[in-house]
Amino acid sequence: MGTIPLEPEPDPSLAAHERAVLDVVRAVTDPLVAAGAATLDVEISDHQGAASPPSAFKVRPTAPDACPIIVQVDHVRQLSLFMGGPTWSETWHADREDYLRWVREAVEAVVDGRYEEWVHADGRRAKGIFHLRDGPEPFYNNVIRTWAVGGPRWRHHRYAPYRAEAPAESRLAK
């Protein structure tokens, strides 16, 4: 009779809210990592004040046309997501379950190829859209949301899923 490997003990240097986010990221990405479609790097904060970088979980696809994502835990209910090029989204949720659900849905959207972005030639302005189960969720890199997206100075990119066998209904229409 064989032995069943035990889950590794939680890293004691992760705070409880960071562990919860990492658990969500792993639930989405572990099958991809096991299949060789992605890698997951965990960078743990030393929690030594404002100068200390926050903990970050970096998911990198092996497919060149898929979108990398970094989930950075900024605070107990606040995090930043960095996708593709210079595009990032910051979110805050008062409710823990809403917070963790949103993390799961955003990471799923990226790895399933349901994320797209527009980046201006200046590299400072960008718009991204997560295509979530409840519909599209757009965000902008800066607080000025009135500028128009489109034209020759904007690059539009629709990212591919991490695995070619992602369900067709999960991908964006090309």
Domain boundaries, the chain: 16-159
The residues with which 41 forms a beta bridge, in sequence order, are 58
Euclidean distance between CA atoms 126 and 157, whole angstroms = 11
Burial class (CB in 10 A: 0-12, 13-18, 19+), 134: exposed
CA dist list (Å): 59 to 28, 30, 71:
10, 10, 8
Euclidean distance between CA atoms 100 and 123, whole angstroms = 30
Average pLDDT over residues 48-75: 88
With a cut of 60, say whether residue 8 has pLDDT above it.
no
Query: Which of the pair, 65 or 120, is modelled with greater confidence?
Result: 65
With a cut of 60, say whether residue 150 has pLDDT above it.
yes
Query: Which of the pair, 22 or 152, is modelled with greater confidence?
Result: 22
Burial class (CB in 10 A: 0-12, 13-18, 19+), 140: middle
Query: Which of the pair, 76 or 39, is modelled with greater confidence?
Result: 39
Confidence at residue 54, expressed as pLDDT on a 0 to 100 scale:
87
108-142 tens-digit pLDDT: 999 999 999 988 888 777 888 899 988 998 887 75
With a cut of 70, say whether residue 1 has pLDDT above it.
no
The residues with which 173 forms a beta bridge, in sequence order, are none
Q: Which helix (H) or strand (E) holds 51?
A: none
CA dist list (Å): 69 to 54, 84, 96:
15, 7, 21
Weakest-pLDDT range from 12-26, 131-145, 153-167: 131-145
Confidence at residue 148, expressed as pLDDT on a 0 to 100 scale:
66
Query: Which of the pair, 94 or 20, is modelled with greater confidence?
Result: 20
How is 68-122 classified by DSSP, letter by letter? PEEEEEEETTEEEEEETTTEEEEEE-SSHHHHHHHHHHHHHHHHTT-EEEEEETT
Q: How far is CA 113 from the centre of its chain?
A: 12
Supply the pTM of this predicted model: 0.82
Confidence at residue 165, expressed as pLDDT on a 0 to 100 scale:
66
